[in-house]
A and B are shown apart, each in its own frame.
Chain A
Amino acid sequence: MTELNLVQAINVALKCAMSEDDRVLVLGEDVGINGGVFRATEGLFRLFGEQRVLDTPLAEASIAGVSIGLAAQGFRPVAEIQFAGFAYTCIDQILNHASRLRARTRGRLTCPMVLRSPVGGGIKAVEHHSESPEAMFAHIPGITVVMPSSPARAYGLLLSAIRDPDPVVFLEPTRLYHAAREDVTDDGKGIPLGQCVTLRAGRDVTIASWGAMIKEALEAADQLAADDIEVEVVDVATLKPLDSQAICKSVARTGRLVIVHEAPMTCGYGAEIAARVASRAMTNLLAPIERVTGYDTMMPYLRTEQYYMPSLNGVLAAVRRTMAYT
């Protein structure tokens, strides 16, 4: 067991996947000798060579496109897009091709690829580097969308993503890359995709969140415990396919739901979760569903980004609002 931060856990998972399966390739901008702009692919080039760790020209759409060709030929490409703002041009390839190659050919060709990208704000980055595009990807049928919230979960979920027979968009919260460390056992064990993880049990309010906002969710739960408010924190982890049963079961116990995400509110993934709960657990609800999200603005520049980001106080206030209903 080793204490790792999230980006190191990604790196260890990539090494593990590449060691166990020759078909796994890593490709992207600066992923070779430089080890990636966040060092997620550090050391891979030296270990596995230029045949398996490919520096690509600067062309994001085609990084996704080339991965589709490789995957259709039986490789398991893991493509890195440097920042989420650059991943939007990949949506054409993911939506029109990767996600439907299996269905279009009735299983003749498949697309077992992973598109990795850092996401989210809070690191005072330059514009277009702090996007939260998860809902756009989650709207695409045929793909899996994953966002880990800790080093150990990043390790296990990435291994499962690489082993998955279908395309996976794997979004890594930049804010967590060098944040808290966690014991990670490099045992090659994947964490199943498509399952929520309950990080903390509680009887009063369910907070459903994912990625970096899990930090605020857990802090809120800690603070509220002092006031005898028990918060159950559910890490959604895989946005698509959604484990709505786990969320509904939790809401059945607590009767209250607060959804926290960094992406803008309108058509954010919180809307999907709220709709599922409204249709399946309406009679369990004691209070209106609350959403604590980014605003329907562009991601602000770094001097004002803190006003955009959902805050601990915002989460606390939302939980207290739901507690007003008994």
Chain B
Amino acid sequence: MPDIEINASLTRMLDTNGKVVGNLPDFARDQTELLRLYRTLVLTRTFDTKAIALQRTGRLGTYASSLGQEAVAVGAAAAMRKDDALLPSFREHGGQLWRGVTPKELLLYWGGDERGNNFAGPRGDFPNCATVGSHLAHAVGVALAFRLRGEKRAAVCVFGDGATSKGDFAEALNMAGVWKVPAVFVINNNGWAISVPRAKQSAAETLAQKAVAAGFPGEQVDGNDVIAVRAITERALARARDELGPSLIEAVTYRLCDHTTSDDASRYRDDAEVSRHWPAEPLARLRNFLTNSGFWDRDKEEALLRECNSAIEQAAAEYLATPAQPASAIFDYVYAEAPAELIEQREAANAFMRGQHD
């Protein structure tokens, strides 16, 4: 299969056939690390598949798949340390899974249960951000907190190409640059913001170049090459820890799925375009590399698929078996301590609902 053409400035370690085309970083020579990366990519895709099936059968809310873009969040998260903070948009399940958010927690979130955001694992990570781009400033604040305490921690913020059109993006990057905070901004440039293609989003030649205006480096990476994404993010994080300031990474990928389960991309996007991008997808690429390196074979693949399926099926069963919070829970956590007027509303609501069920 011919390799898909790429922009010359874009960093890439593996071509679409999994052939080495760049200088491999050390972790890419470590079989355990490679298999961990591959497992998380497969787990993410398995999760996406199950989540869509649950949504289609009325058992999950609207869902945003990461199909084809798994390597962006997984690669970025894999570059992070445990005590760094991830601030995702809403397509970063792969990165969240890598960092220890459980598939059950993710399903609870997408199933409309706030408890899904109460991660038992990465306690400092932010929940998803549906108001596009508004979480970049939070990343600046989190990173500033790390720097003010003299900690060698960093914030990683992921968002889509559409977010780069927002004032929030310009403001946050500008502030991050002035204060040289330890933050890494990762654009999941999947080519589409719902129905608006990249070309109609910005006249800038690359989105990475928007970092120039903020006074720090920005670069493009092949977002379907998990090794390259991780390597570039590791470099940006090292820079952040060395107090050299923030970085912007434009991970160029492609949205093989609809925007969400509420979207029908065939209304605005040619199927042929989608088909053209399938050969560049990230899982096959790493699998080919693993196979070529002698680390992988059909039996291992089948065993992994079985393992991921069973993990996700079990998480789905646990999610489905989790009763919704009681009605009164909507009044919980509004404030640390509920004020009198809210207690009154809660009591009235409780009494009303008891009446409804009598």
Q: Which residues of A contact B (CB under 8 A)?
A: 25, 51, 54, 56-57, 59, 61-62, 64-75, 77, 92-93, 96-97, 102-110, 141-142, 144, 165-166, 194, 241-245
Contacts and interface: CB of A to CB of B under 8 A. Distances in A.
B64 to A, nearest CB: 17
Contacts of B217: none
A220 B137 CA distance: 46
B313 interface: no
Interface of B: 114-115, 117-119, 123-124, 126-127, 131, 134-146, 148, 155, 167-168, 171-172, 174-175, 178-179, 332-337, 339-342
Contacts of A77: 141
Given A59-B174, A62-B175, A106 B342 contact: no
30 contacts: A25-B148, A57-B171, A59-B171, A59-B175, A61-B171, A62-B137, A65-B135, A65-B137, A66-B140, A69-B141, A72-B138, A72-B142, A73-B146, A75-B148, A92-B131, A97-B134, A97-B135, A102-B335, A104-B127, A105-B117, A107-B118, A109-B127, A110-B336, A144-B335, A165-B337, A166-B336, A241-B342, A242-B341, A243-B340, A245-B340
Contacts of A105: 114, 117-118, 127
A29 to B, nearest CB: 12
Contacts of B114: 103-106
Nearest to B173: A62
Contacts of B167: 61
Contacts of A67: 141
A51 B144 CA distance: 10
A93 B115 CA distance: 22
Contact of A69 (B119, B139, B337): B139
B168 A62 contact: yes
A155 B220 CA distance: 51
Contacts of A57: 171, 174-175, 178
A56 B336 CA distance: 29
A217 to B, nearest CB: 23
Nearest to A73: B145
Nearest to B109: A104
A56 B179 CA distance: 9
A106 B333 contact: yes
Contacts of B134: 65, 92-93, 96-97
A216 to B, nearest CB: 27
A244 B344 CA distance: 12
A103 B333 contact: yes
Majority DSSP secondary structure for residues of B touching A: helix
Contacts of A61: 137, 167-168, 171
Contact of A142 (B136, B138, B178, B334): B334
Nearest to A164: B336
Contact of A56 (B138, B148, B175, B340): B175
Contact of B144 (A64, A70, A92, A106): A70
A71 B142 CA distance: 8
A65 B340 contact: no
Contacts of A243: 340
A107 B137 CA distance: 21
Contacts of A64: 137
A247 to B, nearest CB: 12
Nearest to A166: B335
Contacts of A71: 141
Contact of A241 (B138, B143, B340): B340
B117 A241 contact: no
Contact of B332 (A65, A106, A108): A106
A61 B135 CA distance: 11
Nearest to B146: A73
A271 B138 CA distance: 35
B339 A102 contact: no
Nearest to A141: B334
Identify which of A64, A68, A102 gathers the most chain B CB atoms within 10 Å of its CB. Answer: A68
B115 A106 contact: yes
What 9 A-B pairs come out closest when comparing CB atoms?
A69-B141, A65-B137, A73-B145, A241-B339, A62-B171, A165-B336, A66-B141, A59-B171, A69-B138
Given A72-B142, A104-B117, A110-B336, A66 B127 contact: no
Nearest to A55: B178
A166 to B, nearest CB: 5
A68 B118 contact: no
A274 B37 CA distance: 61
Contacts of A59: 171, 174-175
Given A62-B168, A75-B148, A241-B339, A69 B137 contact: yes
Contacts of B137: 61-62, 64-66, 68-69, 93
Contacts of A70: 141-142, 144-145
B342 A65 contact: no
A108 B333 CA distance: 10
B264 to A, nearest CB: 27
Contacts of A96: 131, 134
A73 B332 contact: no
A66 B140 CA distance: 6
Identify which of A73, A92, A93, A141 gathers the most chain B CB atoms within 10 Å of its CB. Answer: A73
Given A61-B137, A67-B141, 11 more contacts: A62-B168, A69-B155, A72-B138, A74-B145, A104-B114, A105-B114, A106-B114, A107-B333, A142-B335, A165-B335, A242-B341
